Structure 1
Amino acid sequence: MAEGQETQEKKSSVVDVSGFIDSPLGVHNLQSAVPTITCQDECLMGIDEAGRGPVLGPMVYGISYCPITKTKDLEKLKFADSKVLSVSQREDLYHTITECNEWLGWKACILSPNYLSNCMLRRSKYNLNSISHDTAIDLIRKVLSDGVKLTEVYVDTVGKPESYQSKLESIFPQLKVTVTKKADSLFPIVSAASICAKVIRDACLTEWKFTEGDDCYSKSFGCGYTSDTTTINWMKDCIDPVFGFPTLVRFSWSTASKMLESNGLLVKWPDDDEDEEQKANCPKISLFFGKAKTNGDGPKPAKRHRYFEERKLEAVDHFI
């Protein structure tokens, strides 16, 4: 079953995400034990994410790593892109990954809906691509700090592959970096990372505890994608006109913000009026620059503002 077609199921998860469930408002990290062999032999690593698009739940970044000498063993495990696997297939492969911990390690970073919304709605914009890049970079650094002898990194791209790869190469010049589309279907090590990320995200949704009340528990919220009518209907039923949505929802997504505009109460802050008044009274920077006047003899130089004269600043007509 493809990602986006699954529905919410209340069952015991195959991975322990209780640390995140107990405090689901920030960033939470999970990891396997670091295999001893990965600190001795040169290793490759794969990076992928799960839950980039949904309006509900966390986005999870997963990585997996192993010695390059274990590439053949990795291929025998028959990993595949997590999106084309059923829930049971992913869980079985996740168990396989954990059983191979003597040579195969993994890490995951769970980015809560609250964290994503706060980042994307803050005054200094922090978009999803930048969040994704920084999370991947942090995971690479964590693996290196664990003493893993990392030499190759394979990444499923976010944005343009060329620019993303150049960015990673500039930060980690000692590593051979490959960034490409569909990396999770091209490289088994990325497929393993994809499986870890998706299984962990599924567990977060399965184990989610609503602090907002029992009404949210009583209805299925679907797969979390805006194409799912169950998800949209759940959001409409759970919206509060003052406080908005439960913390499972990403407020920064356009679907959520449009619902709030239509069904929520308008809040007007006193600062809004002050900001508008300040904007109206604030002179434009262009007023500091005079315009040249002309007469029959040609243009006359404009009188320069005292700001420039006091600081001995001169105009230039070319750039070095």
Structure 2
Amino acid sequence: MDLSNFEKDNTKNCLLESPVPECSTTEACCLGIDEAGRGPVLGPMVYGTCYSPLSAQDKLKEIGLADSKTLSEEQREEMFKKMCEAQDYVGWMVEILSPTFISNSMLKRSKYNLNALSHDSAIGLIQKVLDKGVNVKEVYVDTVGDPDKYQAKLKAIFPSLDITVAKKADATYPIVSGASICAKVSRDHAVKGWKFEDGISGEDLAYGSGYPSDPATKKFMASNMDPVFGFPQFVRFSWSTASHILEKEAEIMEWEDDEDEEDTGGSASLLTFFNKKGEDSRLQRHRYFKERNLSSVAVL
């Protein structure tokens, strides 16, 4: 699995996909959707889809597809390997949603909660697979929120498809199990390969499961919080776990208007004497801004 594009810039979402099996463009296919990493406060959330001709359902069972949560990491890797080896009748696509995207979406003024974000990702994956020419007839989705409302929402967008949204669909339908494995393996790789600003990788850090209740996760967050700039991009700022730590431990910032600033009388700041010759200190940006691709604007 090649995550090089995501690793180059883990502040942005990333789409990964397999080759489209030729038979899936002519034969009627089923498609499953599931996610990995919805609950953790650390790392990305990944939405995955797996598709295969209806005539190949017995072959999917022979592979032994099962809900990724019931499998060890080694077993998931082995299952994913088998799926890739079966590329003549199995296709997959995953979308990696970065922690930055999740936080920015949930914290913007117009509320965009995790359920809506999840629905939109699933809808986008279905459309992308259809755009690839896959002859999708049946769709099976592990629910997010009320299954009946979610199913009605998807049916309104894709009226020609036979759609089933159910709880624990990943344990019921092999095609959803395949999607679950793709999503979980992708997240595992993304978390392990995460590059922090100081060059440390995810494999070198003890952050536990990433879930808010995990003591190792709490310890990681407490020891990796800057009192001014907060957490690294690996952390989802929009989670209450993160906001509670910030409220308790971070510095209180006060933002003053330009006109309220004291007149320096034209004297230079003391900090300018520490600049390199010809260097403008105003152009030196803290890594907080670099990580988030933030830049100054002249006009709003």
What band does the TM-score fall into relative to the shorter chain? 0.7 to 0.9
Kept after mapping to 1: 8 A contact 2:193/2:201: no
- Counterpart residue number, 2:106: 120
Residue in structure 1 matched with residue 115 of structure 2 by the alignment: 129
Alignment equivalent of 1:81, drawn from 47, 63, 67: 67
Instruction: Tell me the equivalent position of 1:66.
Output: 52
Q: State whether structure 2 residue 90 is matched by structure 1 residue 94.
A: no
Rounded Cα–Cα distance in structure 2 between residues aligned with 1:97 and 1:238: 38
Could you tell me how far 1:217 is from its partner in structure 2?
7.8
**Aligned counterpart in structure 1 of residue 152 of structure 2, from 146, 161, 166:** 166
Question: 1:227 Cα deviation (Å)?
Answer: 2.0
The percentage of counterpart residues that share the same residue type is 52
Q: How does 1:220-239 map to 2 (within 5 A)?
A: 220-239=206-225
Cα deviation for residue 213 of structure 1 reads 6.1
- The aligned counterpart of 2:226 is 240
Contact 1:45 1:152 (8 Å CA) reproduced = yes
Say which of 5, 13, 19 aligns to 1:33.
Answer: 19
Check whether the contact 1:215–1:238 (CA below 8 A) recurs between aligned residues: no
Partner of 2:143: 157
- Between the aligned partners of 1:189 and 1:217, the Cα distance in structure 2 is 30
Unpaired runs of 5+ residues, structure 2, are: 258-300
Q: Which digits, 9 at most, give the CA deviation of each residue in 1:49-105, with x for residues without a partner?
A: 000000000000000000001111111111111001001000000000100001100
Name the structure 2 match of 1:180.
Answer: 166
Higher Rg: 1
**TM-score normalised to structure 2 length:** 0.83
User: Does the aligned pair in 1 maintain the 2:192–2:201 contact within 8 Å?
Assistant: no
Letter of the 2:46 partner, please give it.
V
Distance verdict in 2 for CA 1:215–1:73, change over 3 Å: closer
Which residue does the alignment assign to 1:9? none
CA distance in structure 1 between the partners assigned to 2:201 and 2:24 by the alignment: 48
Tell me the TM-score normalized by structure 1.
0.78
Matches within 5 A, 1:169-318: 169-212=155-198, 219-270=205-256
The amino acid of 1:42's aligned partner reads A
Asked if residue 54 in structure 1 is aligned to residue 40 in structure 2, the reply is yes
Once residues 218 and 45 of structure 1 are traced to their aligned partners in structure 2, the CA distance between those partners, rounded to angstroms, is 36
Deviation at 1:220, TM superposition (A): 1.2
Secondary structure at the aligned position of 2:35 is classed as: strand
C-alpha distance 108-222 of structure 1, shift in aligned 2 (>3 A)? same
2:193 and 2:202 in contact (8 A); partners too: no
Q: What RMSD over aligned residues (CA atoms) do the two structures have, in Å?
A: 1.5
Is contact 1:212–1:246 with CA below 8 Å preserved after alignment?
Answer: no
Comparing 230-239 and 215-224, the one that deviates more: 215-224
Aligned equivalents of 1:213 and 1:31: distance in 2? Answer: 28
Measured in 1, the distance between the counterparts of 2:102 and 2:4 equals: 20
